[in-house]
């Protein structure tokens, strides 16, 4: 039986080992490369990308949609599971909150990267029209970012206090955690405010999270184009976001569990439950996919036919079937079996889901742009096709690396598993008659 102190020591932030340092170095190399590529883009303009009059959105916007999707996981694991009383998710809440914060920060940055003239960003505010979904997106992303940070920060307060005491022989660390703890002592007044705030946050973040994904979907659906002209797009995006987020959480929890030796906290049972959840989410998303493709295929208008044939049998068919079969069907089949829900297979399936989810966003954005209802006249033949250029890939990979870097740095300095809640749950399990503390 571990003592409280042992648990705190195991869950307290730790320095990177050799592999961790190599990982940080690798991420920094990618980030610096992408920064150099972005400076080149700033100097030369968006002409260095593959984007032209037809494909005016490319992998930057695909990446943006992907980041927005990933950010939903914070509300799924923390808010939805918390409100439904699914206590098994406690060790996963902080992981999902970190992913959400990193993803939403990068979503905002990606939009700026996609701008040919980023110094004109303030035009959005001085010339923005409230009628435009782009303005809705700016508002809702900013709101969601603040809420995600609050949702990450609030439950950390008791942990910061514990860490302040834990690091008493390291004054600098103790001082920092003390400042971040905001004088948290767990007294009655603080506990009351805390519980109310976390409940309010958990409730509030759900409609805002649904809002951000719905509005992002509306960026496409309010544009009259084959593949986007759908009233179903909001729920379709939300379902896809849950899949991408759950897949990411499985991957990150596997890496953290092995890197920090947290098998006692992130157990096989957690992988089993997350895998079951992923199956359910994949099934829902698959259902929406059938809707999105079957109905236009049945109507078979000229533009939809061109668009769908490009996806089913044309130049995008390999990616499309990979995203559908690899990203949805295979995970459903594999995770239905108990053996498939063990940590390593679940991790591999999670990776497959995340990669499939990224390409799915690419397939949502790009092929549609190449088949407009009203063709652009008098453009060179190669403008009818889009494939990202080298600098675009470098910048995009750098964006993904930056998101991973944010998560990595937060993992380094924050307790990745909620310490206070873990202690309380253990106390409750040891003494079922005892009432759990009303904290976090």
Binding site for another protein (CB under 8 A): 127-131, 136, 139, 143, 146-147, 150, 153-154, 157, 182-191, 193-194, 196-197, 200-201, 204, 208, 437
Least distance CB 381 / another protein (angstroms): 11
- Whether residue 221 contacts residue 260, with contact meaning beta carbons closer than 8 Å, is answered with no
Residue closer to another protein, measured from CB, 184 or 288: 184
Of 104 and 201, which CB lies nearer to another protein in the complex structure?
A: 201
DSSP 3-state percent helix, strand, coil across the chain (nearest 5): 75, 0, 25
Cβ distance to another protein smaller for residue 191 or 428 = 191
Residue of 103, 70, 96 whose CA lies nearest to 361? 70
Give, rounded to a whole angstrom, the gap between the first and last alpha carbons of the chain: 24
Cβ 204 to another protein, closest distance in Å? 6
Q: Which residues are CB-neighbours of 283 under 8 A, at least 6 positions away? A: 332
Nearer to another protein, 180 or 416 (CB): 180
Q: Which CB atom, from 190 or from 267, has the smaller least distance to another protein?
A: 190
Least distance between another protein and beta carbon 130 (Å): 5
Shortest distance in whole angstroms from residue 146 CB to another protein: 6
Smallest distance, another protein to C-beta of residue 208, A = 7
Give every CB contact of residue 109 below 8 A, 6+ residues apart in sequence.
399, 402
d(CA 227, CA 296): 8
- Please say whether the beta carbons of 82 and 94 come within 8 A: no
Measured from the CB atom, the residue of 146 and 336 that comes closer to another protein is 146
Which of 290/379 has CB closer to another protein? 379
- Distance CA(318)–CA(324), nearest Å, equals 10
Q: In which residue are the tokens 């809707």 written?
A: 291
- Both tokens of 180, joined, read 């971040």
DSSP 327: I
Residue 8 or 401: which CB sits closer to another protein?
A: 8
CB neighbour burial string for 380-407, b if at least 16 within 10 angstroms, e if fewer: eeeeeebebbebbebbbbbbbbbbbbbb
Least distance CB 227 / another protein (angstroms): 23
- Looking at beta carbons only, is 133 or 343 nearer to another protein? 133
CB atoms within 10 A of CB 255: 16
Shortest distance (Å) from residue 113 CB to another protein: 26
Distance of closest approach, residue 145 Cβ to another protein, in angstroms = 11
Minimal CA–CA distance to 140: which of 195, 198, 218? 218
Could you tell me the smallest distance in angstroms from the CB atom of residue 148 to another protein?
11
Closest approach of another protein to the CB of residue 350, in Å:
32
Of 193 and 376, the one with the shorter C-beta distance to another protein is 193
Query: How far is residue 113 CA from its own chain's centroid?
Result: 18
Q: Closest separation between CB of residue 200 and another protein, Å? A: 6
Quote the CA–CA distance of 370 and 396 in Å, as a whole number. 21
- Give whichever of 139 and 259 is closer to another protein, judged by the CB atom: 139
- How far is Cα of residue 203 from the mean position of the Cα atoms in its chain? 19
The string of DSSP letters for 2-71 reads --HHHHHHHHS-----HHHHHHHHHHHHHHHHHHHHHHHHHHH-GGGSS--SS--S-HHHHHHHHHHHHH
DSSP string, 184-234: ----HHHHHHHHHHHHHHHHHHHHHHHHHHHHHHHHHHTS--TTT--TTHH
Integer Cα distance of 307 and 311 in angstroms: 7
Q: Is the separation of the CB atoms in 275 and 253 below 8 Å? A: no
């Amino acid at each position: 039986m571990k003592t409280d102190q042992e648990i705190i020591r195991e869950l307290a932030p730790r320095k990177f080992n050799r592999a961790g340092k190599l990982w940080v170095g690798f991420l920094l190399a990618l980030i610096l490369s992408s920064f150099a590529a972005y400076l080149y883009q700033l100097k030369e303009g968006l002409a260095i990308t593959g984007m032209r009059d037809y494909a005016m959105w490319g992998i930057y916007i695909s990446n943006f949609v992907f980041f927005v999707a990933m950010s939903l996981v914070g509300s799924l694991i923390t808010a939805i599971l918390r409100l439904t009383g699914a206590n098994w998710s406690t060790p996963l809440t902080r992981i999902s909150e970190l992913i959400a914060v990193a993803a939403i920060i990068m979503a905002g940055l990606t939009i700026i990267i996609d701008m040919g003239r980023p110094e004109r960003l303030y035009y959005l505010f001085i010339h923005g029209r409230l009628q435009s979904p782009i303005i809705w997106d700016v508002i809702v992303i900013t709101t969601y970012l603040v809420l995600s940070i609050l949702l990450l920060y609030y439950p950390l307060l008791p942990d910061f206090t514990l860490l302040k005491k834990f690091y008493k022989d390291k004054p600098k660390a103790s001082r920092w955690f003390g400042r971040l703890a905001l004088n948290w002592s767990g007294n009655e007044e603080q506990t009351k405010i805390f519980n109310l705030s976390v409940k309010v946050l958990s409730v509030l973040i759900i409609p805002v999270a649904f809002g951000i994904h719905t509005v992002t979907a509306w960026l496409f659906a309010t544009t009259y184009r084959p593949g986007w002209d759908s009233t179903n797009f909001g729920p379709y995006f939300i379902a896809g976001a849950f899949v991408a987020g759950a897949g990411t959480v499985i991957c990150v929890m596997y890496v953290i569990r092995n890197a920090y030796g947290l098998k006692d906290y992130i157990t096989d049972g957690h992988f089993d439950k997350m895998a079951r959840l992923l199956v359910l989410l994949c099934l829902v998303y698959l259902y929406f996919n059938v809707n999105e493709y079957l109905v236009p295929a049945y109507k078979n208008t000229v533009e939809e036919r061109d668009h769908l044939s490009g996806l089913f049998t044309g130049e995008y068919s390999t990616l499309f079937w990979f995203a559908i079969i690899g990203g949805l069907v295979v995970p459903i089949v594999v995770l239905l079996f108990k053996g498939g829900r063990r940590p390593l297979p679940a991790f591999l399936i999670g990776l497959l889901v995340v990669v499939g989810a990224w390409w799915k966003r690419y397939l949502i954005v790009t092929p549609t742009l190449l088949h407009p209802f009203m063709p652009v006249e008098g453009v060179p033949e190669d403008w009818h096709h889009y494939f990202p250029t080298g600098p675009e890939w470098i910048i995009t990979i750098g964006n993904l690396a930056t998101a991973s870097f944010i998560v990595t740095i937060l993992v380094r300095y924050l307790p990745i598993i909620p310490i206070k809640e873990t202690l309380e749950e253990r106390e409750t399990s040891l003494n079922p008659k005892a009432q759990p503390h009303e904290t976090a």
